[in-house]
Amino acid sequence: MSLSSNLLFSVKPGGLLTGSVRVPGDKSISHRSIMLGSLAEGVTHVTGFLEGDDSLATLQAFRNMGVQIDGPEDGVVVIHGVGMHGLKQPELALDLGNSGTSMRLLSGLLAGQGFDTTLVGDTSLSSRPMRRVTDPLAQMGAQIVSTAAGSAPLQIKGGSKLSGIDYPMPVASAQVKSSLLLAGLYAEGITTVTEPAPTRDHTERMLNGFGYQVQRDGSRISLSGGGKLTACDIDVPADISSATFFLVGATIAPDSDLLLQHVGMNPTRDGVINILCLMGANIEVSNRRDVGGEPVADLRVRSATLKGIRIPEDQVPLAIDEFPAIFIAAACAEGETILTGAEELRVKESDRIQVMADGLVTLGIDAQSTEDGIRIQGGKLDGGEVDSHGDHRIAMSFAMAALRSSGVIRIRDCRNVDTSFPGFVSLASTSGLEITAEGEGI
């Protein structure tokens, strides 16, 4: 049992969310800023960096490979880039904690280095599928040894000569796409990845920002190996995935009126807004602007009566991290919500379909998991004790559910909330959630 089991959230029923908040920086963009900033020539300044355990694991990994990184201090990080071939062999295995993005993206990036590395993670990360990256990387010439089950630890042999491939991705995964593009930087010739559906494009945008050409032709994304990256400044927007808990909370809690500032609105990430609006949410988008190649806006959300819907399958990859919170919205909606085409949720930080279904049933909601989704009949939420299974997004979703429950909701195993949302308890309290954290480390 991990230490995280010891942290318990206890949330009083009722209340409403008001005021104006800026949630922490985008996790995906924070990871990539460290990776590309480290490989760039020159000094990269990052503001709004997410000081969560996942992005800090990436930061530490690059420090362990000899990169001087100052900060983070109040979200400011300064990366002294070492150039495409300046990384040094780390003395020990790189420990990536709970972070799938770190492990999958680093697999590609490290396959192109001249030295061996080993990547390890926590129990959850060590059980997640890695063949989705190691198989195509092997086609490029990488030598990576995983466990018999295809999971971490990953031992990456340095000095392999990589060649570009033309890879049709079997799953819509930005992590796989990004891993291959990062390996492609070191490969001879052109690396092309074809997406079965649009996935987050932060890697492509940021590579362009660092002066590296990435071509998109419909669903095909290509780059040529052998180029270089030039340092630049990055302003990380607030993470729409973290904003989601507040979007759902303010929607389900009567009389709420909340402003979320500076939220990343990349069109490959905004499925949650489309889905909540289809259900009847009242979300006003204002002050749209572009910040360093990423669209950003302020979101005003007011309570609304929701109705159950059949979630359009084309929205699934665009809202892939937001489903635990969307399921809470569905539990508070009138009628049935049906999700299909979302089997990927079973291999996230936990099996998010089963863990959410179990928790919702504990709270008195009729929820049935299916192979690739869930059916949720909106109803009345009771109080009760649920288990997040160490999954940050499940913990925060059930915390927001208390805004509409009839009794206290207690959530076990919440330590990993810090992987993506440090300060969640205090920010949620400031906005009106009556939440306390109990247990080890508090």
Shortest CB 321 distance to ligand S3P, Å: 5
**Cα diameter, the chain:** 61
Identify which of 434, 394, 432, 433 has the alpha carbon closest to the alpha carbon of residue 411.
394
Query: Which positions from 26 to 65 touch ligand S3P by CB under 6 A, shown as an x/- string?
Result: --x-------------------------------------
Region from 35-43, 82-90, 159-167, 168-176 binding ligand S3P, contact rule CB under 6 A: 168-176
Query: Which positions from 85 to 124 touch ligand S3P by CB under 6 A, shown as an x/- string?
Result: ----------------x-----------------------
Query: Which positions from 176 to 215 touch ligand S3P by CB under 6 A, shown as an x/- string?
Result: --x--------------------xx---------------
Region from 173-181, 188-196, 245-253, 427-435 binding ligand S3P, contact rule CB under 6 A: 173-181
Region from 170-178, 213-221, 231-239, 430-438 binding ligand S3P, contact rule CB under 6 A: 170-178
**CB-nearer residue toward ligand S3P: 59 or 409:** 59
Shortest CB 266 distance to ligand S3P, Å: 11
Q: Does 236 bind ligand S3P (CB under 6 A)?
A: no
Shortest CB 299 distance to ligand S3P, Å: 20
Q: Where in 332-351 is the site for ligand S3P (CB under 6 A)? A: 344
Among 60, 107, 151, 175, binds ligand S3P (CB under 6 A): 175
**CB-nearer residue toward ligand S3P: 197 or 259:** 197
**CB-nearer residue toward ligand S3P: 16 or 320:** 320
Shortest CB 77 distance to ligand S3P, Å: 17
Q: Verify whether residue 321 is a known catalytic residue.
A: yes
Region from 6-14, 89-97, 174-182, 361-369 binding ligand S3P, contact rule CB under 6 A: 174-182
HEC states along the chain?
Answer: CCHHHHCEEEECCCCCCEEEECCCECHHHHHHHHHHHHHCECEEEEECCCCCHHHHHHHHHHHHCCCEEEEEECCEEEEECCCCCCCCCCCCCEECCCCHHHHHHHHHHHHCCCCCEEEECCCCHHHCCCHHHHHHHHHCCCEEECCCCCCCCEEEECCCCCECCEEECCCCCHHHHHHHHHHHCCCECEEEEECCCCCCCHHHHHHHHCCCCCEEECCEEEEECCCCCECCEEECCECHHHHHHHHHHHHHCCCCEEEEEEEECCCCCCHHHHHHHHCCCEEEEEEEEEECCEEEEEEEEECCCCECCECCHHHCHHHCCCHHHHHHHHHCCECEEEECCCHHHHHCCCCHHHHHHHHHHHCCCEEEEECCEEEEECCCECCEEEECCCCHHHHHHHHHHHHHECCCEEEECCCCHHHHCCCHHHHHHHHCCCEEEECCCC
**CB-nearer residue toward ligand S3P: 379 or 422:** 422
Number of residues engaging ligand S3P in binding (CB under 6 A): 11
Strands 18-21 and 143-145: unpaired
Q: Does 174 bind ligand S3P (CB under 6 A)?
A: yes
**CB-nearer residue toward ligand S3P: 110 or 409:** 110
Burial (Cβ within 10 Å: 0-12, 13-18, ≥19) of residue 423: middle
Shortest CB 108 distance to ligand S3P, Å: 12
Shortest CB 171 distance to ligand S3P, Å: 7
Region from 86-94, 162-170, 172-180, 434-442 binding ligand S3P, contact rule CB under 6 A: 172-180
**CB-nearer residue toward ligand S3P: 101 or 405:** 101
CA distances from 428 to 23, 246, 247, 353, 381 (A): 10, 8, 12, 25, 20
CB-nearest residue to ligand S3P: 28
Shortest CB 269 distance to ligand S3P, Å: 10
Q: Does 266 bind ligand S3P (CB under 6 A)?
A: no
CA dist., res. 26 & res. 238, Å (int): 5
Catalytic residue among 53, 239, 298, 321: 321
Question: Which residues have a catalytic role annotated?
Answer: 321
Catalog residues that contact ligand S3P under the rule CB under 6 A: 28, 101, 173-175, 178, 199-200, 320-321, 344
